[in-house]
Amino acid sequence: MGPHPELMQWPPELQLFLSCVAFDFLGTPTARHIAMSSRRYPSGSEKRKRKKRADEFIETQRGAMDKFFSSNSRTSRNQNEMAIVAMEEQPDNDPEDQGFTPEENIDTNRNDNNDRRCLSLSLFRIPVRAFIGVCFFIGALALLIWLIYRPRTIQVAVATATLSRFDLNTTASTTPVLSYNLTAVLSFSNPNRRVSIYYDKLQAAGLYQGERFGRAALPVSFQGTRRTDAAPALLVGSSLVDLNAEDSRAGVFPVELWVDGVVRYKFGELTTTTTSTLTVKCHLALKLMVASGWVDCTVIDF
């Protein structure tokens, strides 16, 4: 963009003088950049500062011009002053004077886009935060219930067990079968003070050398807090299980009594719908027609 048309009418001496002084005063790289060059969209504050400095410079140089021009050039000087005044009063159609610059427009558009993004993110955060809050509340409530009730593992034991018959029967068929008669009384203890227990499908099974030889249902369905209940189990019948000759000679039979079932808990007035598997192992060493003593069992799964 070229110099202002009215500035081109100034005398060369005045242009040179203004160029030199403007370079010293304003610190611009070239003197022609005072008013003759166009900077690409300066900021509003920068343009106002430059305009103010130009006004101050013109005011300070009004009297100094008389030292460089004779009285014969008054008319030219008056014309130059009128040109300067005209230049000062000429409205600038720069987009900056209207309060908007390209940089400001870009920033405004960015801010609008950022606002829209922030609004969409805020709307997305609402359900996420609500979901996290619900999960936190449920977890805190479950932890509080666990701390209050704190369910403890039940205790199972064999109070007594009697093996009335445990031998091979060869008369019933060509294949020898094991005939057995086992009577046991199991003890179930609930040590919890605030938790009751429901027993579903509770059964006892007898195993010899890893093979099951009988099964019986246990008559226990509900157990209150701090309560011990006895459950008799009767296993009678025959099974295709081989009898160890050494056990027969010793007269002691290592029998395992397994208890399995499904349990549910009752916390006060609230009964859980989820179930847990109960697995108990009782290791017995029984003699024929001799009642065993108290044998504690191992709760494997609860």
Q: Assign 3-state DSSP to the chain and report helix, strand, coil percentages, each to 5.
A: 40, 35, 30
Where residue 233 falls among pLDDT bands split at 50, 70, 90? very high
Cβ proximity of 178 and 168 under 8 Å: yes
Closest to 81 measured CA to CA, from 98, 64, 105, 96: 64
* Of residues 153, 150, 145, 138, the one with CA closest to residue 276: 153
- Show Cβ contacts of residue 208 under 8 Å, excluding neighbours closer than 6 positions: 178, 241, 253, 254, 255, 256
> What is the dihedral angle through the alpha carbons of 127, 131, 134, 138, rounded to the nearest 10 degrees?
170
Give, as one character, the DSSP assignment of residue 103. Answer: H
| Burial track 206-220 (b if 16+ CB lie within 10 A, e otherwise) | bbbeeeebbebebeb
The answer to whether 290 touches 238, Cβ cutoff 8 Å, is no
**pTM metric for this prediction:** 0.54
- pLDDT category of residue 35 using cuts at 50, 70 and 90: very low
Band of residue 72 on the pLDDT scale cut at 50, 70, 90? very low
Position 220: which residue type?
A: V
Q: What is the pLDDT of residue 118?
A: 60
Which single residue is written with the structure tokens 């025959």? 238
Q: Are 209 and 244 in contact (CB under 8 A)?
A: yes
In which residue are the tokens 């044998």 written?
Answer: 295
Q: What per-residue confidence (pLDDT) applies to 86?
A: 42
Give 87-140 pLDDT, tens digit per residue.
Answer: 444 444 444 444 445 444 455 555 555 556 666 666 667 888 888 999 999 999
Task: State CA 282 to chain mean position distance.
Answer: 44
Secondary element (H or E) of residue 263:
strand 252-267
pLDDT tens track for 162-196 = 999 998 887 756 678 899 999 999 999 999 988 89
pLDDT tens-digit profile of 199-230?
988 999 999 999 999 999 999 899 999 999 99
- More confident site: 270 or 155: 155
Tokens 């900056």 belong to which residue?
96
Helices (H) and strands (E) in the chain, counts: 5, 11
Task: Using alpha carbons, select from 225, 263, 230, 234 the residue that is nearest to residue 156.
Answer: 230
Beta strands in 142-251 (DSSP E): 155-169, 177-190, 195-208, 211-217, 222-223, 227-239
